[in-house]
Amino acid sequence: MIVNTGGRTDTVQYYSEWLLRRFAEGYVLSRNPLFPDKVSRIELSPDKVDCVVFCSKNYAPILPRLHEITSRFRTYFYYTITAYGKDIEPGVPSIAESMETLIALSRMVGRMRVAWRFDPVLLAADYPAARILEIFAQMAPVLAPYIDRCIFSFVEVYKKLEVNMPELIPLSLEDMDMLARGLGEIAGENGILIQTCGTNGDYSRYGIHPSGCMTLEILGRANGVAFRNRKHRGMRHGCHCIESRDIGAYDSCLNGCKYCYANQTPQKARDNFRLHDPDSPLLLGHLHPDDTVIQAVQKSFLE
């Protein structure tokens, strides 16, 4: 079983104390987002978890104590650093700060366990294609020695994005082709393996690998283990990733990114944050009397 710590919220940046406590106590409770009275209990022990996958835009809060997890579990880290500023990502550190933190993380866990996510790629009046590529070209040579690969995807225009980010300029097929060509060329010049997130088309003609972001091949190679040859069911239509269990909660990330898919609104995330108790096995709030707790099935993918 693969445990994902950051698909629904930036757990590392805002809930590090809770996350470390859950691994220390050896279990976590996760509320079903579709059926809120259904709660899964997931054991967080090395014999039950094949790999712990982290996704964050700021690893600085957890770095001093990260060894409490990395010393016991196989791990892999996705670090999102985009081309945007606080006008689009108000809660995210600057690009310079983020790159420094990624380098520190890589030196701690090894470059084979760190992937740089440059996504979502989007266009706005202040972020034309030329600026996106210029910033990527500045970042690539700095990060190249410290990453396993770079992953990018083009923004998906959810309904709420039309309200939360009206300045978004729709991407045409020509825009995507031009951006992919530029990203591929820059990555190639810097010796970076670059790939798309599996839903974003085939740009292999530009040296871009079509692959899942989180595959057993990637996780196994990074940790020196062999996984079974298992079909990757993905997390949504068109996704080529291995399925994982996310222990976070939607509507709880304070980064405030305008393009966010995991929050309905920034205000709802702030309201939910007040429910957080670092001592609770749930990320938000506590168990209710009418909750049903079910032991999660945790099958190993190891060969």
Q: Which residues contact 205 (CB under 8 A, 6 or more apart)?
A: none
pLDDT at 236 over 70: no
CA separation for the pair 51, 3 (Å, rounded): 6
Cα distances (angstroms) measured from residue 277 to each of 280, 282, 286: 5, 8, 8
Token pair belonging to 4:
């994902």
pLDDT at 166 over 70: yes
| Confidence at residue 158, expressed as pLDDT on a 0 to 100 scale | 76
| Span 50-72, pLDDT tens digits | 999 999 999 999 999 999 999 99
Q: Which residues contact 263 (CB under 8 A, 6 or more apart)?
A: 250, 251, 252, 253, 269
| Confidence at residue 230, expressed as pLDDT on a 0 to 100 scale | 80
pTM: 0.95
Does the bond joining 33 to the residue before it have cis omega, within 30 degrees of 0? no
Pairing of strands 75-80, 209-210: unpaired
